[in-house]
Amino acid sequence: MRIRSLVSLAASAAALLVPAAPAHAATNGLYLLRDAASGRCVAPVDGPVGGPLQQCGPDSRWNLQSVGDGTVRFTEVSGEGRCLGVSPAFVYPTALRLSACGTAPDAWRVVGPHAPEVDALELAAVPRSGLAVVGDRTTLADGLSFQWIVQKVG
């Protein structure tokens, strides 16, 4: 009985030390970032406060590019070299926008699954901060919101 308790305790401690595994091996390709609650997708729309949600379709696709360190970048499909990252605008909650890849924090970790196919998107530069929905747009929030379906479409 005592040995079983020690083994159980050791397994629990090991589980706490191991970071959450990606829900899937995110491979380069076209993806939708779908909010599991509303079914809407993050749109690659330009502007000082970006990250709006819209009906999912060809205009809401992202190129997922592996950075090689366990993080990925979501780049717009148009090929202009802009990524989903943090806006320099001083607003709360922190806004997201498209900017030249690498010029703003824009490397993400796909963390999960919390439920089948539902992940969190964590900004690598700010651990435990992730993509969340506020109204009709996405923001960077404190904590991880397990609400995203990272759906490969091509």
Summarised one tens digit per residue, pLDDT across range 39-51 is 999 999 876 677 8
In whole angstroms, give the CA distance from residue 93 to residue 49. Answer: 11
Banded model confidence at residue 61, pLDDT cuts 50, 70, 90: very high
Q: Mean pLDDT over residues 98-108, rounded?
A: 93
pLDDT higher than 60, residue 6? no
Banded model confidence at residue 2, pLDDT cuts 50, 70, 90: very low
pLDDT for the residue numbered 34? 96
User: CB-based contacts of 116: which residues, under 8 Å, 6+ apart?
Assistant: none
pLDDT higher than 60, residue 115? yes
pLDDT for the residue numbered 5? 32
pLDDT higher than 90, residue 20? no
Q: Is 47 left (phi over 0), alpha (psi -120 to 50) or beta?
A: left
The domain segmentation of the chain, as residue ranges, is 21-152
Average pLDDT, the chain: 81
Percent of the chain scoring above 70 in pLDDT: 81
Banded model confidence at residue 3, pLDDT cuts 50, 70, 90: very low
pLDDT for the residue numbered 149? 93
**Please, are residues 14 and 6 in contact by the beta-carbon 8 Å criterion?**
no
In whole angstroms, give the CA distance from residue 122 to residue 70. Answer: 11
**Please, are residues 73 and 81 in contact by the beta-carbon 8 Å criterion?**
no
Q: Mean pLDDT over residues 27-31, rounded?
A: 92
pLDDT for the residue numbered 78? 86
Assign domain 21-152 to its CATH architecture. Trefoil (2.80)
pLDDT for the residue numbered 25? 52
CA distance to 11, 14, 16, 58, 139, per residue, from 6 (Å)? 9, 12, 16, 53, 43
